[in-house]
Chain A
Amino acid sequence: MVQASTTLTVQELTLKIKQQLESTFTQIQVVGEISNFKKHSSGHLYFDLKDGEAKIAAVMFKRQGDGLKDLPKEGDKVIVIGSVNVYPPHGKYQLIITSMQNQGVGDLLLRFEELKKKLKERGWFEKEHKKPLPQLPKTIGVITSPTGAVIKDIIHVLKRRHSGFHLILYPVRVQGEGAAEEIARAIEECNRFQLADVLIVGRGGGSLEDLWAFNEERVAEAIFSSSIPIISAVGHETDVTLADFVADVRAPTPSAAAEIVTAAKSEKLAFLAKSNQQISHTLTQLIAGYKAKLRAYQRHPVLVNPLALVTLPLQKLEDLQERLDQATERRFSLLQERLSHKKGQLAALNPQNVLKRGYTILFAEKEKGVVDSTKKLYPEQMLSALFSDGKATLKVMTTHE
């Protein structure tokens, strides 16, 4: 406690106040209304926080202020977190704010949860209501802001795929008054005019208020009733809206939505390229194999020197001929030998030859025939005797047995 007897300088007092206040009020949460809002050229935000009864000066430095999705406006009800700071030269205190949230957010979150429960009970999030996406959509409908990043991202991805596509943009406001109605009507009209085979509905990231249109029942209903399959692409991966729950497919980002739409086509093109490569490879291998075989055949001695093919049989033929000649000759001489042998045998049997050896053949002169027995003889009979060198006539004197 500061004693009355102690005299303090202004600086000493101010420093004591500074120490007390700053140590007591660090990182406190304060609710209030924005007033006298000013954004300094340095980027720092200066304003007052007030309610019916009091007001406190506040500052949000550039570093933290840049993190705000939207600058606060005059009269906004906000919840801030900050620390009290005393500035001795001016003898003033202020709240240095590190984070700020619109107080309406709490109300919105409540509405979000209520509506989510209601739609869930209606079964709108159920898998059975999810329509399959067309494999090869002819026309891709995009419902988003014509000036936002979403349409640029989608077109960028589609173009990168190097395959033709037909995209129709249905321009809508994606935040603020009437945005939900516009988005819902766009979905309905795309269906009525059959403008596309698949729809991408989305916007870039933002605060809960920014994304709110996609949490309206009107939009959820239009998505649910659409007969054209719908891909939702709202905000960043972490932003979840009711539209995401009702949509047939939820894409984490607009680029992802474009990838999803063209996935089947890319797959098909990849399959074709792979198939082409495979069969070409197999065929090339096969033909190379046949060619190698052919070359091997071409190197075969028979084809290199076709005469070789006839040389061998020719030799064989000559060989055979020689053997035939020899055989014939042998056979011939054998036969000749046998013939002369028979000749000899025959010669031995010739009666002339017998006669030469001293034998004589007797013929009876009157009775024809050879006399080969004394019984055929009688005295005075005339006989003719055949010699080897002539004949003689003989007369039988007597016969003896």
Chain B
Amino acid sequence: MSDKNFESSFKRIEEIVDKINSGALPLEEMLRLYEEANNLILHCQTKLSLAEEKIEILIKNRENRLSVNEEGSPLKEPLCV
């Protein structure tokens, strides 16, 4: 999910929270909004929380320069702390 998508999701959630809190809606509409917000919240939470934890270190060669692969991209390896 892009930052922009995130932003619009958050805006929508905020909107719904305000609407629901105002309490001036028919029950059916409330339940529909609740479901929508709940789905958005779960989706965003999942996206934010479940990113894989990855800790890497760039590999340096004997000349103390970055080691690169054939495509010229720097080589990395997992870093254990």
Contacts and interface: CB of A to CB of B under 8 A. Distances in A.
Contacts of B30: 283, 286
Contact of A182 (B49, B57, B64): B64
B34 A171 contact: no
A283 B20 contact: yes
Contacts of A272: 13, 41, 44-45, 48
Contact of A265 (B21, B27, B48, B73): B48
Interface string A167-193: 111110000000000100000010001
Contacts of B16: 279
Interface in B1-35: 3, 6, 10, 13-14, 16-17, 20-21, 23, 27, 30-31, 33-34
Majority-rule SS of A interface residues = helix
A276 B41 CA distance: 7
B81 A152 contact: yes
Contacts of A265: 48
Interface in A122-170: 134-136, 138, 146, 151-152, 155, 159, 162-170
Nearest to A167: B55
A16 interface: no
A162 B20 CA distance: 30
Contacts of B23: 282, 286
Contact of B48 (A146, A169, A182, A268): A268
A294 B54 CA distance: 54
A128 B5 CA distance: 28
Given A169-B58, A271-B10, A279-B38, A163 B73 contact: no
